[in-house]
Amino acid sequence: IRKVQYAQNFRVDWLWQNEFKLWLKNVPSDSSKAFCKICCCELRARRADLLNHMDTKKHKSSIKVLRIHPPNTIKPTITSLNTSRAEVALAMFVSVHCGLLSVDHLGALCKSHFSGTNNTADNLCLHRTKCTAIIKNVLCLYFKNNLKDDIGNGRFSIVAIFYSTFQNKIVTTFFGLEELVECNAAAIVKAILNALKSYELDIKNGIGIGTDNASVMLATSYACSETMPRNLEFLISETYNWFSKSTLRQQAYRHIFKIMNDDHEPLKIVQACNTRWLSIESAVVRIINQWHECKEKCYLAEMLYTIDLQRVNKLFESNSVDPTKLVNELVTLICVPSSPRPAHYICSIGKLFVIPTFNFNPITKDFSNFLYPNPYLSYGFEKKVEELRNLKLLMKLDEKKLRSRCISFATVLVKQLQQRLPENLGILQKVEIIFPSNTLNQIKDNISPLCEHFGLDLINIEKIEMQWHKINLITWSNTSSAGIFWAEVKKFKDASGSNPFEELADFAFMILALPFSNAAVERVFSQMNLVKIKTRNRMGFNVLISILHIRSGLKRHGKCCDSYVIPDTILHKIGTKESYINIPENELAIFEDLPI
């Protein structure tokens, strides 16, 4: 008869036996299992299995690390604040200016050249592992907490754009990166909620979101079906590729250009960005400026050159432009406004090919039935056509085809611009009323509809409306920019020491925090591509986020690694267990029992 096998449970006295006490641990959820702390694996709670595990090659190599120093023989080294401050400064320098691998040589270089002059250099000990730990677990957490405290309970846009109580201005900064398992709207919403949860922010305080041009970002069911004319894109891309891939062609072109232009150097042919579609204009301008030398001609490109696209594009890319006027700049680029505007506003595309009697609504999707049969396509275009016609180099049929192509191009261009206009365009156009010249006007529009759109309650709307009609009674010094003006209003105090325009200023800053442009989003991806390049393709996701947080944190404060001062409370974390271990709490117990 076979002997009955009884289940063996974990025995507590094994924890005190010499052969097991350094590495053995029980499994609370299963009494029939044991756990090896240095191999991180579960075993059957049988003495024979434990002894067999001790003889494995993996366990023997791991146990050697623990037996280098007997228990309780390693004493922590006390590092001075000056040394910690120097190590943090070097870690910030590495995050902003170079790669992590260089810190191995940078730390040794500083120690070899500056040791003996002060104790800071003598005690300096910074290599890749410690530098990475400082970046991930000290500096990144510090700048994230700083950003969280700065946002507080205020209103914000997910880019992030918010009113900084510390700096008394609107700040645009890096918010975070989230890994996506699926590229759909549901996964994006989940990632946004996770990002807000990490900052402990209430989604109800969000007033907007800045995205790139991907259709899934705004949960639309289709992408843009029409693009720029392929012949224009081919001309721009092939002109750049023709010269960029051959040094001989560059030298030949340079020689011809210098002969034709009194020994002047040619301008570099610009490559159009694939993700920022309006950047094609700068590439077109560069080709047109060197048109005779390139020996080509493209009337579509010349017409694009006459349209003031690049100026509007630069406005949306700028950080210093007044956001209250951006929407109207884009609308004016599409169609001539009905109200009088300054001369620089008259740069409309729609007026080139739409009949004058047509009331061009900027968000109208179908205007193809109102095209002018024989439009005037700018002075330069018409002058050149007339010249070619007189020289009998342009036949009527060719001229008709040329005009048709130009109209088709402009039509697609307007549709591209229309697709980028939000559905609530009417509300966004009204934000121009918070510009200082409109705010301080005696006769001005009512601000209540704008307050209602942003969901303010009745009490706040009444306060804002009352303050709106009184604000022009005060003499203000900074009226050139909306941001500077409302910062002055925010800091204003009356005789009693209170701010009589506090609610109005908060509402104005909430409007200014709207993402009027996706330039901030594109800058995040540009920074990411600058950090994680081909030679750093093994960089982990957490390290990448940490470096971006440090860079954006320094930029947010207007300082660099040599001038920013980290608080002493943060410096005390350098070299501690907290700065090295960043794992879930349920796994932390594995390390707590290891001998030091």
- What are the contacts of 508-511 at 24+ separation with CB within 8 A? 508/434, 508/482, 509/155, 509/163, 509/170, 510/155, 510/163, 510/207, 510/454, 511/324, 511/431, 511/434, 511/450, 511/454
User: For residue 3, what are its two tokens?
Assistant: 């002997």
Give kind and range of the element (H or E) at residue 482.
Answer: helix 482-490
Q: How many CB atoms lie within 10 A of CB 362?
A: 20
- Asked if 76 and 67 touch (Cβ cutoff 8 Å), the reply is no
Comparing C-alpha atoms, which of 12, 22, 9 is closest to residue 53? 22
- Asked if 174 and 548 touch (Cβ cutoff 8 Å), the reply is yes
How far is CA 141 from its chain centroid?
18
Query: What is the rounded distance in angstroms from the CA atom of residue 61 to the CA atom of residue 55?
Result: 10
pLDDT of residue 226: 41
Q: How many CB atoms lie within 10 A of CB 116?
A: 9
How far is CA 471 from its chain centroid?
36
Q: How far is CA 313 from CA 281, 555, 558, in A?
A: 9, 23, 25
Produce one character per residue of 440-456: b if its CB has 16 or more CB atoms within 10 Å, e if not: beeeeeebeebbeeeeb
Contacts of 593 (CB under 8 A, 6+ apart): 25, 37
DSSP structure class, residue 18: T
pLDDT of residue 585: 37
Query: What is the rounded distance in angstroms from the CA atom of residue 239 to the CA atom of residue 373?
Result: 33
E strands of 97-246, at which residues?
156-158, 161-164, 169-172, 206-209
Contacts of 51 (CB under 8 A, 6+ apart): 19
Give the residue with greater pLDDT, 460 vs 523.
460
Give kind and range of the element (H or E) at residue 245.
Answer: none
Helices (H), 262-378: 280-289, 291-294, 299-306, 309-317, 326-334, 350-353
Q: Which residues pair with 463 in a beta bridge?
A: none
- pTM more than 0.75: no
* pLDDT, tens only, 241-291: 777 767 777 787 777 777 666 677 777 776 766 555 555 666 666 666 665
**Among 268-277, 368-377, 391-400, where is mean pLDDT lowest?**
268-277
pLDDT band at 339 (very low <50, low <70, confident <90, very high): very low
Q: How many residues comprise the chain?
A: 596
- Asked if 519 and 316 touch (Cβ cutoff 8 Å), the reply is yes
Tell me which residue has tokens 């002075």.
379
* pLDDT, tens only, 13-47: 888 888 888 888 888 888 889 998 888 888 988 88
Query: What is the rounded distance in angstroms from the CA atom of residue 131 to the CA atom of residue 71?
Result: 27
Q: Which residues pair with 206 in a beta bridge?
A: 156
Q: How many CB atoms lie within 10 A of CB 487?
A: 20
pLDDT over 60 (residue 213) = no
Instruction: Compute the CA torsion angle 172, 178, 184, 190 (nearest 10 deg).
Output: -90
**Among 27-36, 415-424, 566-575, where is mean pLDDT lowest?**
415-424
* pLDDT, tens only, 88-135: 999 999 999 888 888 888 888 888 887 766 677 777 888 888 888 899
pLDDT band at 463 (very low <50, low <70, confident <90, very high): very high
Give kind and range of the element (H or E) at residue 84.
Answer: helix 81-97
Query: What is the pLDDT averaged over residues 40-58?
Result: 89
User: For residue 492, what are its two tokens?
Assistant: 């204003």
pLDDT band at 500 (very low <50, low <70, confident <90, very high): very high
